[in-house]
Amino acid sequence: MEALALERKQEQNRELRVRLEQLKKERNAIILAHYYQRDEIQEVADYRGDSFLLAQKAAETDAEVIVFCGVHFMGESAKILAPGKTVLIPDERAGCPMADMVNVDGLRKLKAQHPNAKVVTYINSSAEIKAETDICCTSANAVKVIESLDAEEIIWVPDKNLGQYVQAKTGKKLIIWEGYCNTHDMLTVKDVIEMKAKYPEAEFVVHPECRPEVVALGDFVGSTTAIIDHCRKSDRRQFIVGTEDGTGYQLRLDSPDKEFHFATKFLVCPNMKVNNLKKLVKCLETMKPQIYVPPAVADKARTSLERMLQVR
Is residue 205 packed enough to be buried (19+ CB in 10 Å), middle (13-18) or exposed (0-12)?
Answer: buried
Q: How many CB atoms lie within 10 A of CB 82?
A: 19
**Residue 292 has what DSSP assignment?**
-
pLDDT for the residue 11:
84
Contact partners, residue 3, CB within 8 Å, separation at least 6: none
pTM of this structure: 0.94
Is residue 144 packed enough to be buried (19+ CB in 10 Å), middle (13-18) or exposed (0-12)?
Answer: middle
Positions of the chain with pLDDT lower than 50, given as ranges: none
Distance CA 72, CA 85 (A): 16
- Beta strands 118-122 and 154-157, pairing class: parallel
Distance CA 252, CA 259 (A): 8
- Could you give the domains of the chain? 2-95+272-293 (3.40.50.10800), 98-181+296-310 (3.40.50.10800), 184-262 (3.40.50.10800)
Backbone angles phi, psi at 229, to 5 degrees: -65, -45
Distance CA 124, CA 101 (A): 10
Q: Percent of the chain scored above 90 by pLDDT?
A: 93
Q: Are 289 and 283 in contact (CB under 8 A)?
A: yes
- Amino acid in position 249: Y
Distance CA 181, CA 195 (A): 22
Residues 210-269: tens digit of each pLDDT? 999 999 999 999 999 999 999 999 999 999 999 999 999 999 999 999 999 999 999 999
Question: ω into residue 200 within 30 of 0, thus cis?
Answer: no
Residues 68-89: tens digit of each pLDDT? 999 999 999 999 999 999 999 9
